[in-house]
Amino acid sequence: MNAIDGQLLVIFGASGDLTERKLIPSLMNLFQGGHLPESFAVLGVSRSDMDDEAFRKKVVLDNPHIPETVGNHGHRKEFAKLLHYYDLGSYEEDYAGLNERIAELDNGIGSPGNMIFYLSVPPRIYETIASRLHDQGLSSEESGTRRLIVEKPFGYDLESARSLNKGLQRYFQESQIYRIDHYLGKETVQNLLVTRFSNSIFEPLWNRNYIRHVEITNAESVGVGKRGGYYDSAGALRDMFQNHLLQIISLVVMEPPIGPEAEAIRNEKVKALKSLRIMRDPETLYAHTIRGQYLAGEIDGEAVPGYREEAGVDPDSTTETYAALKFYVDNWRWAEVPFYVRTAKRMPTKVTEVVIHFKSPHHQIFRDIGMDSKDNKLIIRIQPNEGILIKFGVKVPGQGFQVERANLDFYYSDLADQNIMTAYERLLLDAMQGDATLYARADEVEAAWEFVDPILKYWSEAGDVVTYGYSAGVWGPKNADDLIEGAYGWRNPGAHLTDDPGFCVIS
């Protein structure tokens, strides 16, 4: 890895959950691994009344999200010294005072000038902060690099995403804007590119001639936790599908880029997103989209509350915590191959995987003796137990031709160097290096919203896609089983939903 130039990282929303749970622990890990630049400082900014010491205590020394195993006390104290805090009266005020503090810190670090502004605040103040930074000359790259990292959600719908893009681009160049999607920082998501484009055995089969359907599952066993207020106005489609899942889908669908550069990859991803068949007619929207909401239930033997009982959630809410879609990709490679994608909270377990289901052999030579071939599957496990599994048929030893399914597998944990960086570590490091490959470009985000927008509109306006209740701890509403036609069904990762006693219509 190239040495990274000195950096000042300014985090807006420093008193918040994301800073404490993800950003600072990731920086601590990078520090521990010797990955941070030699000249480095963090300035936390928010409206909470804290000084440097209180901030260091909150996010490093007393932070329960930094595992005991990371750094001894001395190490933590050393890292904490890199952190500073600025108490902003309001995000709307002019930033002259903040600018002075930034200049002071920037001069104090070895190679001054390079700054990253991380917006870890509610989205409605992204543009205000960008404009105030611009007013202070802090978006100008005359004396160093200036990058703006923007958290999700990026917009609430297509219109607001477009308007946010325009708003930010008024103050920062597109090349300075880094829209974070932490799934892109996951090693296994990036591995989709390598699996497809650095092997000659997969790509020739990666098309409609050999693939029957593609199935993607993103399941979480957690509920909405402390984010009920945000989630209730978002729902699963906005929270997970519009960003993380469409990013995964674009990597599965895309054509080979001409090289590994950010723009080459992003160009292909945009083309892929634009080739998704947008669902517009009510019949398709009705038949190909399913919404669910978790009810009280049990996960790992523990009773958990229903969604409507969570803090910050409207007790009559019909917001979906489960979404399943069927759709097509209108291009040469994927014509008429169905894609089935589901995402949900309060499932029996946490798992994200892509399953490529191959077609049966054209001619079944063992059928006459009552033995169908087993269909091949390629399973890309994004988390947990990251790895790749190929399912193929083998002959059962003995007389005749009995076929059994066998596995060829690879787990990341088998690699000698298992130290996989977390998504936020990887993304923070990339931003410091000016590598935007794993960040979403403006047109990518808009293309994703173009696909999602008509579904959200139909759900909110037509009223005939009801929200089904499913008990926490089952695999979603049972009618989702019928989305995948024929005998296939969802790849069954465990106990199934057919017997869910809670299944009901919520709205």
Ligand X SMILES: O=C1O[C@H](COP(=O)(O)O)[C@@H](O)[C@H](O)[C@H]1O
Ligand Y SMILES: NC(=O)C1=CN([C@@H]2O[C@H](COP(=O)(O)OP(=O)(O)OC[C@H]3O[C@@H](n4cnc5c(N)ncnc54)[C@H](OP(=O)(O)O)[C@@H]3O)[C@@H](O)[C@H]2O)C=CC1
Instruction: Measure the CA–CA gap between 357 and 87, rounded to whole angstroms.
Output: 54
Where on the phi/psi map is residue 398: left (φ > 0), alpha (ψ -120 to 50), or beta?
A: left
239 is a site residue for ligand X (CB under 6 A):
yes
Tell me if 182 is assigned to a ligand binding site: yes
SS3 6: coil
Instruction: Measure the CA–CA gap between 143 and 3, rounded to whole angstroms.
Output: 19
Using an 8 Å Cβ cutoff, are 239 and 153 in contact? yes
Tell me if 239 is assigned to a ligand binding site: yes
Tell me if 47 is assigned to a ligand binding site: yes
Q: Which of 152, 308, 326, 345 binds ligand Y (CB under 6 A)?
A: 152
Nearer to ligand X, 151 or 268 (CB): 151
Pick out residues in 22-61 that bind ligand Y (CB under 6 A): 46-48
SS3 105: helix
Paired tokens of 175: 């090349």
- Lookup result for tokens 């409207």: 314
**Shortest Cβ 25–ligand Y spacing (Å):** 12
121 is a site residue for ligand Y (CB under 6 A):
yes
Nearer to ligand X, 109 or 251 (CB): 251
Tell me if 62 is assigned to a ligand binding site: no
| Sign for the pseudo-dihedral over CA of 150, 154, 155, 156 | negative
Pick out residues in 74-113 that bind ligand Y (CB under 6 A): 91
218 is a site residue for ligand Y (CB under 6 A):
no
386 is a site residue for ligand X (CB under 6 A):
no
Nearer to ligand Y, 120 or 275 (CB): 120
**Shortest Cβ 356–ligand Y spacing (Å):** 28
Instruction: Measure the CA–CA gap between 28 and 75, rounded to whole angstroms.
Output: 9
Tell me the backbone φ, ψ of residue 269, rounded to 5 degrees: -65, -40
**Shortest Cβ 383–ligand Y spacing (Å):** 15
CA angle 356, 361, 367 (to 5 degrees): 130
11: enclosing H helix or E strand:
strand 7-12
Pick out residues in 202-231 that bind ligand X (CB under 6 A): 220
**Shortest Cβ 310–ligand X spacing (Å):** 12
Instruction: Measure the CA–CA gap between 311 and 415, rounded to whole angstroms.
Output: 42
7-15, 277-285, 343-351, 477-485 -> range binding ligand Y (CB under 6 A): 7-15
SS3 469: strand
Known catalytic residue at 244: yes
Using an 8 Å Cβ cutoff, are 185 and 427 in contact? yes
151 is a site residue for ligand Y (CB under 6 A):
yes
In the set 134, 244, 288, 357, the catalytic residue is 244
**Shortest Cβ 325–ligand X spacing (Å):** 18
Tell me if 75 is assigned to a ligand binding site: no
Nearest residue to ligand X by CB is 239
Which residues neighbour 329 within 8 Å (Cβ) at sequence distance 6 or greater? 253, 272, 275, 276, 277, 335, 337, 339
**Binding site listing for NADP(+):** 47, 152
**Binding site listing for substrate:** 182, 186, 220, 239, 345, 350
Q: Which residues of the chain form contacts with ligand Y (CB under 6 A)?
A: 13-18, 46-48, 91, 120-123, 125, 151-153
Looking at the annotation, which residues are catalytic?
Answer: 244
**Binding site listing:** 47, 152, 182, 186, 220, 239, 345, 350
